[in-house]
Structure 1
């Protein structure tokens, strides 16, 4: 489908590290995959010409990963993690590596402001739809390595991910009500890492997080994820004005998880939904204002036109949001979703 353009883009990007300017995420692999997926191959190399100059080189390793548990979340070991997963994916089938590491990485879904899981979701889609080759396997290895090096839990989400049957909750998974009931941190300053550590100090955070009980079966997990992406997309229209970049991740993180489900054992679907819910809840609680505003008016367009506008805009967050909401629109048919990328384009 990509006529080699995506693989060429990966070749250029794999000379760069997963972060730059301290700890900003390298969005290049995610953005170019979305551009190619929606038929905008002609923009990829020109877009990269303008983006690559911002990036850092691939980080050097210190020593091989031996105790992986001790190395999780140690960004100083980023180079070691990249080397580790490169070797893993040369020696074992990619679905086997993903199946082994997904449950290990999932509790740290907040990694890099959720960019770890988002990059993995794009890499898995490329492999799943286009087939495997060296460039796509390398991309998955770098995505997994990034997630491992920045591994960071959402405070209070451990019981959700283990499927604790004693958690309170309703009989039905009501994502809409759960999102509406999320509290906000009082001090909304600083970066995402500063904000996440404030969540345990919010009295209503833990009960709000566990309002969504664990899914009882894979089908319920898939429905919950689909609903989560849909509702988070609508919430962007109400809250995006406050943090137009960071609130994109409340949509793109669960989208990445949803896209990865077909490549996973169905036994992993329920904890995947739990982790995605925790990620979206956290991003909402630390970035969204308490009161939303009326959704904006954006010129109506077809899905293809919506993505074309995002591609012309060129910002990586606008491109990725368009990519995500088009998936949600294809399932729901709700045209309100199609206004989100245009709104993001106005804000960013």
Structure 2
């Protein structure tokens, strides 16, 4: 079940509907609707977009108020200030109106990459969805605006991972690398920012990679390994462990639009994000993976849509990118572990 460009106009309608809402709600939770509707449209489910959005709409909040415009002079002080989300989105709206969107992305990607961990990695995931749809089809006004919203959210939530000791490298597979991540000792307390602040050590993986194409292949491997791992470890935290796969996949989706010189640092940031999420939410023990039988991608995605949870939909979308039976089984595990929408 390949992803495809939505030619019905539904995605653009949905994005226009959503751009009057803020990137967050309750001051800390992410608005997942733009990502989920892009996934639905990309998987040929445009007909379900507005129905799904009607169910999700009670979670949405109005677009936040502006503080003051972001300028070249005040840009450094505004970076990482979540109160400035509206200002940053307006800044990127101007940028994508004035220049080719790939030029804006290439300029800002290395600036934003060190802060990929802010907003529980949701900003980079939103950007990855926006880039996929721009790469697949027309750069319509709503799709360009969606990239601006994603980049603006990322700039506002920009949060580097500080004071992490890099342990000796793991030279095996990405699965070996994730297996080598030591779980946080006190995983029961606090949300994402509090736990992230307690991540002190992570193993290096693929640290010797310096070739862009090799970096892309390792990123593909990482997404596959993190998706597979959910089947045995997702019960540690059904929602948050999804991001160990969806965050690096967002980076992978952006690569075709980025200069090759940015691919190696992108791999390193994606590994750190996936490893940190693994450390923060790993269960005490894995459960055995039990193959479900011969799974059909279309049916698996239909079950994710019927379940309705935004993380389940986005994880199923990533599992379909991976495309093998264990990835599809992991998507069904997310259906089983998660609370349905509504």
Whether the TM-score (by the shorter chain) exceeds 0.5 is: yes
Matches of 2:125 and 2:172, distance apart in 1? 24
Select 1:11's aligned residue among 5, 9, 16.
16
What is the TM-score when the length of structure 2 is the normalising length? Answer: 0.93
Q: Give 1:169 shift.
A: 3.4
Q: What is the aligned partner in structure 2 of residue 252 from structure 1? A: 246
What is the TM-score when the length of structure 1 is the normalising length? Answer: 0.91
Q: Give 1:297 shift.
A: 5.1
Asked if the contact 1:154/1:279 (under 8 Å) is kept, the reply is: no
Select 1:45's aligned residue among 46, 50, 53.
50
Q: What is the aligned partner in structure 2 of residue 194 from structure 1? A: 194
Q: What is the aligned partner in structure 2 of residue 279 from structure 1? A: 273
Q: How does 1:181-220 map to 2 (within 5 A)?
A: 181-188=180-187, 189-200=189-200, 205-206=201-202, 208=203, 210-220=204-214
Q: What is the aligned partner in structure 1 of residue 117 from structure 2? A: 110
Q: Give 1:300 shift.
A: 3.9
Structure 2 residue matching 1:65: 3-state secondary structure? coil
Q: Give 1:156 shift.
A: 4.5
Matches of 1:346 and 1:184, distance apart in 2? 24
The unaligned stretches of length 5 or more in structure 1 are 161-166
Q: How does 1:1-348 map to 2 (within 5 A)?
A: 1-2=5-6, 3-66=8-71, 67-156=74-163, 169=169, 174-188=173-187, 189-200=189-200, 205-206=201-202, 208=203, 210-296=204-290, 298=292, 300-329=294-323, 334-348=324-338
Structure 1 residue matching 2:236: 3-state secondary structure? coil
Structure 2 residue matching 1:277: 3-state secondary structure? helix
Asked if the contact 1:15/1:57 (under 8 Å) is kept, the reply is: yes
Structure 2 residue matching 1:261: 3-state secondary structure? helix
Residues 106-143 of structure 1: CA distance to partner in whole angstroms, max 9, x if unpaired? 01111211001000000001111012011000000000
Asked if the contact 1:196/1:286 (under 8 Å) is kept, the reply is: yes
Matches of 1:173 and 1:61, distance apart in 2? 48
Q: Give 1:69 shift.
A: 2.1
Number of residues of Structure 1 aligned to a counterpart in Structure 2: 330
Relative distance call for 1:226 and 1:211 in structure 2 (3 A) is closer
Matches of 1:216 and 1:156, distance apart in 2? 24
Once superposed, which parts of structure 1, at least 4 consecutive aligned residues long, lie more than 4 Å away? none
Matches of 2:119 and 2:54, distance apart in 1? 24
> Which shifted more, 105-114 or 59-68?
59-68
Matches of 2:172 and 2:292, distance apart in 1? 31
The unaligned stretches of length 5 or more in structure 2 are none
